[in-house]
Amino acid sequence: MVDNFAVAQAMTIKLDGGLPPAPMFEAGIRRAPNRGFALSRTQTEIALKNALRYVPEEHHQIVAGEFLAELMTYGRIYAYRYRPAERIYGKPVHAYKGRCLEGKAFQVMIDNNLDFDVALYPYELTTYGETGQVCQNWLQYLLIKKYLENMTQSQTLVIESGHPLGLFPSRPEAPRVIITNALMVGLFDNQADWEIAEQMGVANYGQMTAGGWMYIGPQGIVHGTFNTLLNAGRQRLGVAADGDLRGKLFVSSGLGGMSGAQSKAMEIAGGVGVIAEVDFSRLKTRLDQGWITTFSADLAEVFALAASHQKSGEAISIAYHGNIVDLLEYAVANNIAIDLLSDQTSCHAVYSGGYCPQGVSFEERTALLAGDRAEFTALVDKSLRRHFELIRTLVGRGVYFFDYGNSFMKAVFDAGVQEISKNGVDEKEGFIFPSYVEDIMGPELFDYGYGPFRWVCLSGREDDLAQTDQAALSCIDPSRRGQDRDNYIWIRDAEKNKLVVGTKARILYQDAEGRKTIALKFNEMVRMRDIGPVMLGRDHHDTGGTDSPFRETANIKDGSNVMADMATQCFAGNAARGMSLIALHNGGGVGIGKAINGGFGLVLDGSARVDAVIESAMLWDVMGGVARRSWARNANSVATCVEFNQNYAGQGHITLPYIPAEGLVEDLVGQAFKKLGQ
Ligand SMILES: NC(=O)c1ccc[n+]([C@@H]2O[C@H](COP(=O)([O-])OP(=O)(O)OC[C@H]3O[C@@H](n4cnc5c(N)ncnc54)[C@H](O)[C@@H]3O)[C@@H](O)[C@H]2O)c1
């Protein structure tokens, strides 16, 4: 066996030799709850040896005990000592060291994901969604940065569940970074085995833009939420195509990483939002950002204020400091007329702290998580059952409830409520309430290819963002489709709505053509030196990159919703076409084993090479998804693919489905089953 001296000699890229001082924690920064140490003695030994792989041997005596204490106290080894003492935030790209632009650009993105103002639990490298981490620990963070500083345009950095495996020779046309997170072998692809793997230091839950380094703060989800609420209003509340949500009441829960977008989106849509949040620190963050107007722990006060604003037609977002289940008890008892109802507690991690049970304060929930998991789990199940009852009552009174892709209905089912499943037996045919993708986002946006196109002005200059906003606006024809009109208004008002938290970034839902046109325009602006370099990306809440039967692909009804071919093809196709970064993750917003989702990053450097990547990869990233949706017989996708085949004749071609005449199949199968006596 090669000894440690030889190992150190054989690496030119490694952590600095010195031992950083013992960790210090700033007061008032949110901390992740104890995840619940669950390893056997042998697994614990392996976990410790795994973490020590990054550390020179001379420090093992000191850090081994420290890492073991972290593992047994928090259920994770974060290697807190190795967190840099200085402020971490997305600095202008030129402030970073590197041998290629991409190497510096990805450091901007990583640091933004860990900014105290942006991240959910910055000390635990958690960006959003309760468990979505950039990487597993600070050792990996430091090593990833070293690799990015050293990387050239002829190399590709490989990241496996947070671990930088190394730099491998490649070509300028290939991706600079390839990331995978928590991809588990099928037999072990479940929450319990993932938890063991995570604690042993071999798995990382990346959500999408946390582990894929593309988070842009809650703005990323405001536009999608705005679209969802507006379209729900049009579909269910008789709001005119060019109308807004004036006078309408939306009730939901969560002011966290993504859920924090709900209040802002409802206000932008002109309506009244009431959002319950148990954790005062998160409520305060949104208040300080101006993303909620006011808050109260008194439900009578909350609903009186809501009613007065509904009457006057003024927009307002009100936070209720308390449990959503208590809020719904009040709404049911007092016959509050809710127009739109949803939930955005982190039910994808329902027993790990994502859902605070009724009757327990946020602080008590944290103590229970650490002290009595069995009791906590029992309380969560009881609360979910009550939560369901209250929603069912409200739906019975005509309220439109939709699941917000947080696995709420799955969590209710797992808590023992079989009636929530459509077939009364299992989840395979879905649930009795619609998911927002099934009813709204799927048919209205994803099936056309509209999705969360985003960009970050890497210079950090406000003016670059203003120029890109204007450039994007000039690429949208508001008269083409209703969606384009909404997008036009969105980007026109984006600066006024003060959406930026962290790096100078923007989100703008666009279809394939829109994304391509805007990206080419931006690259031209970089080439002309009108603006500095730009990072393009998206999240996983999209047409093509995600296979997630309880969310993004909830409106795929040909049986292929259990397959992950689309997301995998999207990832591979983006690699082949030269995106700067590509990522493929297990879990995303819904939890381990429930989704495979991929993302990308593309650094616009103004070159002709990048123009060529945009032409092919941007189109593929979206149209691969639209083509699959079309093959699943989704009507709007079929129409979009017909258009594609005309516009790209000779360049691209999509296979289209023939649809049997109405009743033909049903009659035939009916007769056949009759013969079988069924
Ligand atoms: N916004 C979207 O478009 C979108 C899309 C898909 C999925 N999601 C899902 O929504 C969930 C929320 O995401 P996030 O990033 O905001 O997570 P988060 O953990 O940052 O926020 C959830 C918030 O809910 C609060 N909460 C928990 N239980 C509560 C209760 N009983 N009553 C009131 N508040 C309670 C928590 O304190 C927390 O602030 C996740 O499961 C995510 O995957 C969101």
Tell me the per-residue pLDDT of 630-673, one tens digit each, with 9 for 90 and over: 999 999 999 999 999 999 999 999 999 999 999 999 999 999 99
CA of 345 from ligand 1 middle (Å) equals 3
Best of 225, 259, 274, 352 to mutate for ligand 1, by most ligand atoms within 8 A of CB? 259
- Look at residue 482 in the predicted model and tell me its pLDDT: 86
Give the whole-angstrom CA distance, residue 247 versus residue 267: 11
- Do residues 376 and 356 lie in contact, with contact meaning Cβ atoms separated by under 8 Å? no
- Residue 236: pLDDT over 90: yes
- Look at residue 44 in the predicted model and tell me its pLDDT: 98
* Pairing label, strands 316-321, 546-547: unpaired
pTM confidence score: 0.89
Q: What is the mean pLDDT of residues 244-250?
A: 96
- Do residues 136 and 163 lie in contact, with contact meaning Cβ atoms separated by under 8 Å? yes
- Look at residue 191 in the predicted model and tell me its pLDDT: 93
**Average pLDDT of the chain to the nearest whole number:** 95
Confidence of residue 463 (pLDDT cuts 50, 70, 90): very high
- Residue 399: pLDDT over 90: yes
DSSP 120-147: SBGGGTEEETTTEESSSSHHHHHHHHHH
Give the whole-angstrom CA distance, residue 423 versus residue 677: 20
Confidence of residue 551 (pLDDT cuts 50, 70, 90): confident
Q: How many helices (H) and strands (E) does the chain have?
A: 24, 17
CA of 348 from ligand 1 middle (Å) equals 9
CA of 344 from ligand 1 middle (Å) equals 4
Confidence of residue 17 (pLDDT cuts 50, 70, 90): confident
- Do residues 581 and 535 lie in contact, with contact meaning Cβ atoms separated by under 8 Å? no
- Residue 97: pLDDT over 90: yes
Q: What is the mean pLDDT of residues 520-549?
A: 96
* Shortest-distance atom of ligand 1 to CA 282: 39
Confidence of residue 547 (pLDDT cuts 50, 70, 90): very high
CA of 325 from ligand 1 middle (Å) equals 14
Percent of the chain with pLDDT over 70: 100
Phi/psi at 410 (5° precision):
-65, -40
- Do residues 526 and 606 lie in contact, with contact meaning Cβ atoms separated by under 8 Å? yes
Give the whole-angstrom CA distance, residue 451 versus residue 39: 40
- Residue 298: pLDDT over 80: yes
Q: What is the mean pLDDT of residues 269-289?
A: 95
Reported as type and span, the H/E element at residue 452 is strand 451-457
Closest C-alpha to 72, from 95, 91, 44: 44
Best of 226, 284, 325, 346 to mutate for ligand 1, by most ligand atoms within 8 A of CB? 346
Q: Which residue's alpha carbon is nearest to atom 40 within ligand 1?
A: 346
CB neighbour list of residue 666: distance below 8 Å, 6 or more residues apart: none
- Look at residue 103 in the predicted model and tell me its pLDDT: 98
- Look at residue 139 in the predicted model and tell me its pLDDT: 98
- Look at residue 258 in the predicted model and tell me its pLDDT: 85
Percent of the chain with pLDDT over 90: 90
CA of 259 from ligand 1 middle (Å) equals 5
Handedness of CA 158, 162, 165, 166 (dihedral sign): positive
Reported as type and span, the H/E element at residue 249 is strand 249-253
For residue 460, the tally of other CB atoms under 10 A from its CB is: 19
- Look at residue 165 in the predicted model and tell me its pLDDT: 98
- Residue 678: pLDDT over 80: no
CA of 343 from ligand 1 middle (Å) equals 8
Confidence of residue 525 (pLDDT cuts 50, 70, 90): very high
- Look at residue 366 in the predicted model and tell me its pLDDT: 93
> Which residues sit with their C-beta closer than 6 Å to ligand 1?
120, 128-130, 221, 224-225, 253-259, 261, 276-279, 282, 323-325, 344-348, 354-356, 404-406, 541, 551, 589
* Shortest-distance atom of ligand 1 to CA 120: 20
- Do residues 432 and 421 lie in contact, with contact meaning Cβ atoms separated by under 8 Å? yes
